[in-house]
Amino acid sequence: MFKRAIPAAILLFGGSIGAQAAEPGARGFLEDSKASLSMRTLYFNSDNRDGSADPSKTEEAAQGFVLRYESGFTQGTLGFGLDAQALQGITLDSGAGRHVGSGMIPSKGDGAADAWSSFGPTAKMRIAKTELRYGTLLPKLPILLSNDARVLPQSFTGGQVTSKDIDGLTLTGGLLEHAVGRASTDRTGLSVAGGTRDSNKFYFAGGDYEVTKALKAQYYFAQLEDFYNQNFLGLTHSLAIDSASAITTDLRYFRTTSSGANSSAAGRAQGYRVSGYTDDNNGEIDNDTWAAMVTYTNGGHAVALGYQQVGDGSNFVQPNQGSLVDKGAGGGSVYLPTDRMIQSFARAGERTRFGQYTYDFAPLGIPGLKASVAYLKGTDIKAQNAADQSEWERDMTLDYVIQSGSLRGLAFSVRNGKSNTDAGRNVEQNRFIINYTLSLL
């Protein structure tokens, strides 16, 4: 039923607003065009200290280029446009024995590829404040986040419609069919962690509603065909205490249940299963996850405290291609406040308490400089035929963005993370990142 609901809703909604005028201020296809070149240099060092596999260390560096073009829309009630992005990655330093699943550079033989690239166009159409896009997409939604934690971003292909015709309400829906991993040039289907089969159907719909200027409510539904259905509810509220301080509250709830092949033993036996702990070790998805986070800001200080609880039935899931044959397709994000440098704290039964302190040095006369430290502790992790497990992670970051002059916008980031876990391998990571975006149009 849901498969037919989104196309029908899009047609119905498009017909209801077809008579409205074009977006005010629109000048034209070429006149509103924009182009930029984003450059990222990343040194990545991950020391896998123990675990079931021999201790190993990933140490490599790469350069990424992302050329983006965004056209305007043709004039008239119905506007058309075209966007495109070209991605190029170049290996700066790697080698046999140091390329151990970093998820940053595609593999070639027993080492890293010298270079890799991809291209993705996106056709778009606009009616009033509703846009329909088809092609390459970089979703930033509670039910799916494009991962951008390495040299090049993860991308998806499919169709998406976004409407802002109702004041305060943003509606989004669509269908995604493939993904291109952050370390891959190939399109793959969509799956979950542990799944060896894929799906070409990820349906989603939902909305963000600004109840007041301080309160936003969210609801989204997603279905990864043959794997799961997921409902999400979210609330964010900002309370201003005075001109320099505020308290922000962020509440998130996910309900995820099996769908299609994952609902049957025969389907799971074919590879439509999830990894990690599940009831009866059957690989079926069944999970409730909720999280609450409160952030207090005062001048340059920000302190965040939170708690997250993952249900016992299975791990929390969102699309992840790490178990497919194309290893470069691995690496995904999840919309949880515990999704960090190394761990996501999303294992079955896991209860996580976390805190973070961030300081912005602008009040001290150093605008653009920020530092933060975070600590997360997860307990009660379910394991098959074993006692509950635990894990922790500590992350430190230092970021600086040049604020003026010819190099304005040039950004530097140093990151260190350390994780100890009973459920996997103890890891320490170091990253050094340089980002710069050059406007071309």
Domains of the chain: 2-439 (2.40.160.10)
CB-based burial, 374-386: b 16+ in 10 Å, e otherwise? bebebebbbeeee
Contacts of 27 (CB under 8 A, 6+ apart): 72, 75
Running DSSP on this structure, what letter comes out for residue 196? S
pLDDT by residue for the chain (441 residues), tens only, comes to 444 434 433 333 343 343 344 455 668 899 999 999 999 999 999 998 776 666 688 899 999 999 999 999 999 999 999 999 999 999 999 977 788 766 889 988 878 999 999 999 999 999 999 999 999 999 999 999 999 999 999 999 999 999 999 999 999 999 999 999 888 888 889 999 999 999 999 999 999 999 999 999 999 999 999 999 999 999 999 999 999 999 999 999 999 999 999 999 999 999 999 999 998 899 999 999 999 999 999 999 999 999 999 999 999 999 988 777 665 667 789 999 999 999 999 999 999 999 999 999 999 999 999 999 999 999 999 998 889 999 999 999 999 999 999 999 999 999 999 999 999 889 999 999 999 999 999
Q: Give pLDDT, residue 99.
A: 84
Q: Give pLDDT, residue 25.
A: 61
User: Under DSSP, is residue 306 helix (H, G, I), strand (E, B) or coil?
Assistant: strand
CA 384 centroid distance within chain: 29
CA 359 centroid distance within chain: 24
Q: Give pLDDT, residue 55.
A: 63
Query: Which residue type, as a one-letter code, is found at position 207?
Result: G
Q: Give pLDDT, residue 110.
A: 78
Tokens of 106: 């595609």
How many angstroms separate the first and last alpha carbons of the chain? Answer: 44
3-state SS, one letter per residue, for the chain: CHHHHHHHHHHHHHHHHCCCCCCCCCCCCCCCCEEEEEEEEEEEEEEECCCCCCCEEEEEEEEEEEEEEECCCCCCCEEEEEEEEEEEEEEEECCCCCCCCCCCCCEECCEECCEEEEEEEEEEEEECCEEEEEEEECCEECCEECCCCCCCCCEEEEEEEEECCCCCEEEEEEEEEEEECCCCCCEECECCCCCCCCECCEEEEEEEEECCCCEEEEEEEEEECCCEEEEEEEEEEEEECCCCEEEEEEEEEEEEEECHHHHCHHHHHCCCCCCCCCHHHCCCCEEEEEEEEEEEEECCEEEEEEEEEECCCCCCCCCCCCCCCCHHHCCCECCCCCCCCCCCCCCCCCEEEEEEEEEECHHHCCCCEEEEEEEEEEEEECCCCCCCEEEEEEEEEEEEECCCCCCCCCEEEEEEEEEEECCCCCEEEEEEEEEEEEECC
Q: Give pLDDT, residue 17.
A: 40
